[in-house]
Chains A and B, each alone.
Chain A
């Protein structure tokens, strides 16, 4: 099939950036979206134009490195990551607009690549259980009800891609944060630091310039791992409890 691609190009964080239009022919429906961009890049390279920078690594939907705004939707029209989106979701003659995540907490590094280190800094503020190597008790001394373990797992599948932030009109990272708070909060091991965790992570979130949550729900709709909206309720509950405890 034949496509018209409007792609954001920006040389560096300091550059202003602009949309560029490219025509691409012979796109196979079996290509992944990123393979389609690979093909475009080969053509650009051959014609002497610098290839478009975009991030990806695993191309299996698990590392969270990829992430493009495709026709205004994070990761495009399907509930999956950009790397797992295939061209059979589009049709001959389509015009596709491709942009980076837009958020003041995710500055553009180049073209379609953004800097998501703000997520790492949120985790640094408490997204862990403090246990030094070698000091762990025998694994079977900790029993976890299956239900809690399953829920912890479900929300721990967050890949840190940032689609939730890109989708949110407020640019909030509450879904990402709520997923971690819920993962660790469901487990007996996570209780000791429950109050400080939520207070410190939320503090860092706000400090990074992410917006507040007003329960719009666009984040869940965009999340490739289907992290449910109720992790944000859990986040808010934990925050209230922590304040009650004097934090």
Chain B
């Protein structure tokens, strides 16, 4: 048995490697250097290059947009070991992800756990084809860290809900086809009056207004709902029990954000520093920056090991104790420290905002954007609260 499985996996690896080599266009094996090199799909989805389109369609035919979901939901039906091999082989070649969508990373896991079979078949199949671009409607003007304070209300009107209110910080809100929303369906209790609703952004009464960020970019929107009719079948899970789904989805969001790593993997920070600062007697010429880089690289390497340990502990059936809040906090903290240090390493060049040489201030804009890491998906402070209470069991009074 054992050996047979091994043989099968080995041949899967070889086949996969061969297929990727034959089908992934060369330019899709280059590191991503700009957000528009990712394909987000949806009804407004535009390919930024011919190769990107070819690559997406190849993976679509292979059912590898979401390789690890069951085939009845449109996935590739790979088991975890096969999926792992596919990931390894893709990173070996440097293949880009063919498609990015909050439907895959956030909504999908929640649907798999809480939706009806009918909903799963309908929505997951769409997600696997990249047809729908999903956005997240959680935060409101008065419901940020205190998310359960949300007020957007959904009234029961027999065959539909009538939704009125507004959401804020909706990432890519103006580009979304559907929004997964937390709405208030009862005012009797704060946490148990919330429901999880899927809303078509083309419905009458939905409008968005872009918000410009300190990075100068505008990937955000405010989303308004003015008496929007939403069919009852768009409710996921039980009425008034949406908070359970909301929290489950957040753990996936945190894992995704915690994994925000380097955007430019071509050079390590120390290599960048050697180019910009130079070396004296084989050592980086500025000893203060040198020790900051060493300290950061130490923590990055050990954080990677900690992710691996958590996975291995999980496989071995142990609870490693490290929760998604910890990974979100620490992963984003390191990513932010790195952006900060990158500015020190690159000196005057790092603050250029519009010049051509600076690729329209790429570096400076990344730095500004990175400040959001400790806010989105629950702030640093909120993650620390969760660790203190849930993991360490510290008292509330």
Whether A and B are associated in the same complex: the answer reads: no
B interface residue numbers (CB < 8 A to A): none
A interface residue numbers (CB < 8 A to B): none
